[in-house]
């Protein structure tokens, strides 16, 4: 039996409701949503709308039609950044960003957008809010930050950043790839103008799903154009949402699964999900701390971090540990840079990276115990590996 602890890359397993919804779509529906007039197309459209509606409920979004479906968080972030920014604009971001924010921003910087990276100092790698506010200039158009770090588990205070954005009249983009589905994200309370999320991690949907919430005040240039099933007589893109930013047949079967994932989360409740995650993380961190030769990076308190832990072992490289955990113990983790070279430069773990254990609501305490025993054994054998 495999123990899966790579949920920050993609969650596995998924709740059984997710497969049931996709199975139902595959066998009973199959139609193209919002395209044809027959009942299977209409039912498909209703399923896609229901997923939009469930997400709107989860993120406290007033109008579900302000959510644009994408293939993942990366596509959502690209839609937001390239749709908003022009040469001469300034963006404030953080040094913990994933490449899905870092790379589009570097590309825009190469094309005339100015960029400031705010530090997140050790030991807990929290965002420096004073520096963030000080770095805002006359031409600052956007603050673009992640909510939770996929490398070190830090969770940024969205409401405080949102207040700074509002005070200075700049837009606020949040990359919620790691936190959606476990943390309260209230776009209205936190003043979020653009919320990028992915379907296949904490939302328990399948890969190939994700989306972007766009505040009605924000007008984005389109990343691409095409058929929407609406205004078919016009050869120009509709200007209304979500069609303005959402062209081509969506991954309707995937969105059926994503909807089931979000309904599962709404049914369980974010409080219960977070409590379980904290319990697992607490046990993981206490266990790792007791093993000689292990160094945990970042925030010490389990309740202040996401359910993921990056660690180093004296004398054994992260890649060796990952290999042994997989091959000898059937435990799946992720080692290396986790698509986040900026974060590892910040933590001093570049270029080798770390071993990352990332848990989900569906992991168990006994799985954590098995992992801890495996790590203990590896440290005892370190001379031989
Ligand atoms: C913080 C963060 N942002 C963005 C992404 C990209 O997500 P996706 O690959 O689904 O686009 C990830 C994925 O690991 C992530 O951890």
Q: Is the CB of 72 under 6 A from ligand 1?
A: yes
Question: How high is the pLDDT of residue 381?
Answer: 84
- Same domain? For 128 and 243 the reply is yes
Q: Report the nearest-CA residue for atom 7 of ligand 1.
A: 73
Question: How high is the pLDDT of residue 383?
Answer: 45
- Same domain? For 297 and 172 the reply is no
Question: How high is the pLDDT of residue 3?
Answer: 98
Contacts from 235-240 at CB under 8 Å and sequence distance 24+? 240/65
Residue 69 lies in domain: 16-268
Q: Is the CB of 154 under 6 A from ligand 1?
A: no
Q: Is the CB of 276 under 6 A from ligand 1?
A: no
Strand partners for 355: 311, 335
In the reported structure, the alpha carbon of residue 259 is separated from the centroid of ligand 1 by a whole-number distance in angstroms of 19
From the CA of 175, give the closest atom in ligand 1.
3
- Same domain? For 138 and 284 the reply is no
Give the neighbor-by-neighbor strand order of the sheet with 140-146: 67-70, 210-214, 194-198, 171-175, 140-146, 90-94, 114-118
- Same domain? For 88 and 58 the reply is yes
- Number of domains making up the chain: 2
Which of 242, 268, 294 terminates a domain? The answer is: 268
Which of 212, 237, 268 terminates a domain? The answer is: 268
- Same domain? For 354 and 219 the reply is no
- Same domain? For 20 and 47 the reply is yes
Question: How high is the pLDDT of residue 33?
Answer: 96
Which of 225, 244, 268 terminates a domain? The answer is: 268
Pick from 6, 72, 98, 146 the residue to mutate for probing ligand 1's pocket: most ligand atoms within 8 Å of its CB. Answer: 98
Q: Is the CB of 146 under 6 A from ligand 1?
A: yes
Question: How high is the pLDDT of residue 78?
Answer: 98
Question: How high is the pLDDT of residue 46?
Answer: 98
Question: How high is the pLDDT of residue 382?
Answer: 61
In the reported structure, the alpha carbon of residue 13 is separated from the centroid of ligand 1 by a whole-number distance in angstroms of 18
CATH at 222: 3.40.640.10
In the reported structure, the alpha carbon of residue 332 is separated from the centroid of ligand 1 by a whole-number distance in angstroms of 18
- Domain membership flag for residue 5: no
Q: Is the CB of 11 under 6 A from ligand 1?
A: no
Evaluated on CA atoms 143, 146, 147, 152, the torsion sign reads: negative
- Domain membership flag for residue 7: no
pLDDT, tens digit only, all 385 positions of the chain: 999 999 999 999 999 999 999 999 999 999 999 889 999 999 999 999 999 999 999 999 999 999 999 999 999 999 999 999 999 999 999 999 999 999 999 999 999 999 999 999 999 999 999 999 999 999 999 999 999 999 999 999 999 999 999 999 999 999 999 999 999 999 999 999 999 999 999 999 999 999 999 999 999 999 999 999 999 999 999 999 999 999 999 999 999 999 999 999 999 999 999 999 999 999 999 999 999 999 999 999 999 999 999 999 999 999 999 999 999 999 999 998 999 999 989 999 999 999 999 999 999 999 999 999 999 999 998 645 4
- b (16+ CB within 10 A) / e for 343-378: bbebbebeeebbbbbbbbbbbeeebbebbbebbbeb
Q: Report the nearest-CA residue for atom 10 of ligand 1.
A: 72
In the reported structure, the alpha carbon of residue 361 is separated from the centroid of ligand 1 by a whole-number distance in angstroms of 19
Q: Is the CB of 78 under 6 A from ligand 1?
A: no
Provide the strand spans (E) within 199-285: 210-214
- Same domain? For 84 and 163 the reply is yes
- Domain membership flag for residue 1: no
- Domain membership flag for residue 335: yes
- Same domain? For 190 and 160 the reply is yes
- Same domain? For 37 and 128 the reply is yes
In the reported structure, the alpha carbon of residue 7 is separated from the centroid of ligand 1 by a whole-number distance in angstroms of 11
- Same domain? For 187 and 212 the reply is yes
In the reported structure, the alpha carbon of residue 342 is separated from the centroid of ligand 1 by a whole-number distance in angstroms of 14
- Same domain? For 208 and 283 the reply is no
Evaluated on CA atoms 241, 247, 249, 254, the torsion sign reads: negative
Q: Is the CB of 100 under 6 A from ligand 1?
A: yes
CATH at 302: 3.90.1150.10
């Amino acid at each position: 039996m495999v123990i899966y602890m790579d949920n920050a890359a993609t969650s596995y397993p998924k709740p059984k409701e997710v497969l049931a919804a996709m199975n139902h779509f595959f066998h009973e529906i199959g139609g193209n949503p919002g395209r044809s007039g027959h009942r299977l197309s209409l039912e498909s459209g209703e399923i896609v709308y229901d997923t939009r509606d469930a997400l709107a409920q989860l993120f406290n979004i007033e109008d579900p039609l302000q959510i644009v479906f994408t293939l993942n968080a990366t596509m959502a972030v690209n839609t937001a950044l390239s749709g908003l920014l022009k040469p001469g604009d300034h963006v404030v971001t953080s040094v913990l960003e994933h490449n899905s924010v870092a790379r589009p921003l570097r590309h825009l910087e190469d094309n005339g957008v100015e960029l400031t990276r705010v530090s997140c100092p050790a030991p807990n790698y929290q965002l420096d809010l004073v520096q963030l506010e000080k770095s805002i200039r006359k031409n600052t158009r956007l603050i673009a930050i992640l909510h939770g770090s996929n490398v070190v588990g830090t969770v940024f205070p969205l409401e405080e950043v949102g207040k700074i954005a509002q005070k200075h009249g700049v837009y606020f983009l949040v990359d919620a790839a790691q936190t959606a589905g476990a943390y309260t994200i209230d776009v209205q309370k936190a003043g979020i103008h653009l919320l990028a999320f992915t379907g296949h991690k904490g939302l328990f949907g399948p890969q190939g799903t994700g989306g972007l919430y766009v505040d009605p005040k924000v007008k984005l240039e389109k990343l691409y154009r095409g058929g929407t099933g609406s205004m078919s007589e016009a050869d120009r893109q509709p200007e209304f949402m979500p069609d303005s930013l959402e062209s081509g047949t969506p991954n309707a079967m995937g969105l059926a699964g994503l909807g089931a994932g979000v309904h599962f989360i709404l049914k369980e409740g974010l409080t219960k999900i977070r409590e379980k995650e904290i319990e697992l993380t607490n046990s993981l961190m206490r266990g790792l701390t007791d093993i000689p030769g292990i160094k945990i990076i970042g925030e010490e308190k389990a309740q202040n971090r996401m359910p993921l832990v990056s660690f180093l072992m004296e004398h054994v490289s992260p890649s060796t540990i990952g290999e042994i955990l997989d091959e000898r113990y059937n435990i799946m983790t992720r080692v290396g840079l986790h698509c986040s070279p900026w974060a590892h430069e910040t933590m001093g773990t570049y270029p080798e990276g770390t071993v990352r254990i990332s848990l989900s609501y569906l992991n168990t305490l006994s799985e954590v115990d098995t992992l801890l025993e495996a790590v203990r054994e590896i440290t005892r054998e370190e001379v031989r590996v």
